[in-house]
Structure 1
Amino acid sequence: MKNLADLCSLVGADKGGRSASRLCKPLYLSKALNLLAGSSSVAIVTGFYIPSARAAETDGPSGAAVLGRALVWSGRSAVIFTDPLCSLVVEAASKAIDGPPVVAVSTAEEIMEYASFDVFIYIERLGKTSSGGYHNMRGEDITQWTAPLDDGIFLAQQKGIPVLAVGDGGNEAGMGLLFSELARLVPEYESSLSVTQADIALPVDVSNWGGYALTALLSLRESRWLGQSLQEEEDLLTAVFKAGAVDGVTKRREPSVDGFPLNEHLRLVNALRDWWQAAMSLREKKASDVSLS
């Protein structure tokens, strides 16, 4: 579990001061990897529209694109779904690294009808609050601008399809699994917290980083790096910025995510690859020790 604890510390150190990532646990990463390992066809749902900026935010699309591509590279199929308001930004991210196809939908039923999936993954996608609407972490009601794609969690679970959720604030789809803990951590934001419950919820500092961490885990299982290069990470951020995305924290149209500039994301990508290499070396050493015994 030490390797997973180290991975948690890379993506869940509460660098943004929003508290949710304090709940990141190695167990959640282990369960997420088991879910990915058993998958063959995955639906990834992302996209967070910010009405005041009239734009989608920079967090979510890159994490979905990197994880989606890793799933494809490991022999699985993956499709990224978003709503029409976020589609240009999400498409730009996936195209930047030759990722999976992106499909714009307005209802969760359209996702269910698109193909037969055996795993659903939500990355930085709003989930309903206890009032039945959608709120940002500023407490603003943005229901009229948010397509109810989180309904896919209920529809998937009805069919016995497991759902994995990635979020960084607590208002994201699926994070309702941690509602009680989040409400204790950030009681002032309780009315904005999502009540939709995934089967596995992964709280991290930046939702993109959650997608990257899952990619690093899949890379360890596949014994080859499936994540992005440093140049690709820069290409991703440039692509979503040029497509009109804004930073969700600053609300400015700039090449940053959740207030973190490009160099912080490059540092994280580099650290994740170092983590993967160290974990690979440790596994190889253990295998060698067993063969010599």
Structure 2
Amino acid sequence: MKEMTDAPLLPPAFAEKLIAIVARDRGGRGVSRLSRVESWQKAARAFAPLRSVVIVSGFYVPDANAPETDGPGGAAVLARAFCAEGRRAEIWTDSLCLGVMKAAARALSFPEKFVRAAPGSLKEDAPGGIIFTERPGRAADGRYYNFKKKDISEWSPPLDALAAEAAARGIATLGIGDGGNEAGMGCFYEELKKLFPEYSGCFSVVKTDHALAVDVSNWGAYAFAAALSCAWGNWRGAEKWEELAMLEAETAAGAVDGISRLPRLTVDGFEISVQNDIISSLKGLCASFGVK
């Protein structure tokens, strides 16, 4: 199901405030400067009506021999949001990240049976939409890179190939990323090359129908859950006390912070208090627009 053509479900003021919360370049990477009001409006308009979605996530850190804490939380929150609204949702990842992804889902009481290793291709009962969040996307040379410019192809099964298959089948896709090397960030490829030519060989060329550039991918997923909540009229996002539960579960399962490479209760170097502030701000924003 592709993007709908009726009026936006998100008021421009709502989208502007979302960007102010999760895309103001807190991490100094610069990618979130490409976040646009219309991108949030179009993504919400395309995904809010869908009856079934798959969230694809998981970014492995070879230097630490572990998945990172950015990704699982966002995937779990989005999957639960759709389920809470009476839709069907699954989380797909690779075998290296599966344990941590299941741990995040358990912390949110999202059924583990809906968290699994991604199939090689979409089946006949394919979902209405696919969301990639903090999932490696191949560069122009067909390889996968981290932000240290290290080739991580050996640890990055090509789940981003699902984007091309979805496009061929008319299935809506969305990419959420914070570094430019994630699936979906190919939508910003030319802009990113101009902004950061020294990283041009690392940026993903994998495009999705919609793409959201944010400071931290988890925050982008939380914000998109807030955008959907606004469209649905019910709060379906995270609660601030859930962040600690997820991070404790993920680190216990072996996850590390993607910046420090250490098993800390942080995401991309940001402390739990910052994560909680983001969640509280998103919920407060929705409340100010009448979302209960």
Tell me the TM-score normalised to structure 2 length: 0.93
Runs of 4 or more consecutive aligned structure 1 residues displaced over 4 Å after TM superposition: none
Structure 1 gap ranges (5+): 285-293
How do 1:158-197 and structure 2 match up within 5 A?
158-197=168-207
1:38 positional shift: 2.3
The offset of 1:114, in angstroms, is: 7.8
Q: Which position in structure 2 is the counterpart of 1:291?
A: none
> Secondary structure of 1:192's partner?
coil
Counterpart of 2:40?
A: 29
**8 Å contact from structure 2 (residues 48, 232) kept in 1:** no
1:67-106 alignment runs, 5 A limit: 67-100=78-111, 101-105=114-118
C-alpha displacement of 1:188:
1.2
Distance 2:40 2:32 in 1: 13
**Structure 1 residue aligned with 2:283, among 273, 276, 279?**
273
The answer on whether the counterparts of 2:21 and 2:278 sit within 8 Å (CA) in structure 1 is yes
Question: Which of these residues, 247, 251, 264, is aligned with residue 257 of structure 2?
Answer: 247
The reply on whether 1:19 has 2:27 as its aligned counterpart is: no
User: Is 1:40 paired with 2:51?
Assistant: yes
Q: Separation in 2 of the partners of 1:30 and 1:175?
A: 17
Where do 5+ consecutive residues of structure 2 fail to align?
Answer: 1-11
Find the counterpart in structure 2 of residue 49 from structure 1. 60
State the distance in 2 between where 1:113 and 1:103 align.
15
Residue 121 of structure 1 is matched in structure 2 by 131
Percent of residue pairs identical: 42
Give 1 or 2: higher helix fraction: 1
How many residue pairs match? The answer is: 279
Structure 1 Cα separation of the partners of residues 180 and 73 of structure 2: 19
Q: Is the 8 A contact 1:121 1:164 kept in 2?
A: yes
Corresponding residue number in structure 1 for 2:70: 59
Shift, 1:209, TM fit: 0.6
Write the distance in 2 (CA, Å) between the matches of 1:203 and 1:228.
20
CA contact (8 A) 1:49 1:55 kept: yes
Aligned residue identity for 2:109: D
The separation in 1 between residues aligned to 2:108 and 2:243, in whole angstroms, is 9
Q: Aligned AA for 1:16? A: G
Task: State the 1:118 CA deviation.
Answer: 1.0
Q: Is 1:207 matched up with 2:181?
A: no
Note the C-alpha offset of 1:9: 0.8
Shift of 1:237: 1.3
TM-score, reference length from structure 1: 0.92
User: Distance between the aligned counterparts of 2:245 and 2:68, measured in 1?
Assistant: 16
Tell me which structure has the larger Cα radius of gyration: 1
- In structure 2, distance between residues paired with 1:97 and 1:191: 37
How far residue 115 of structure 1 moved from its aligned partner, in angstroms, is 3.5
Q: Distance in 2 between matches of 1:170 and 1:245?
A: 22
Query: In 1, Cα distance between the equivalents of 2:273 and 2:18?
Result: 19
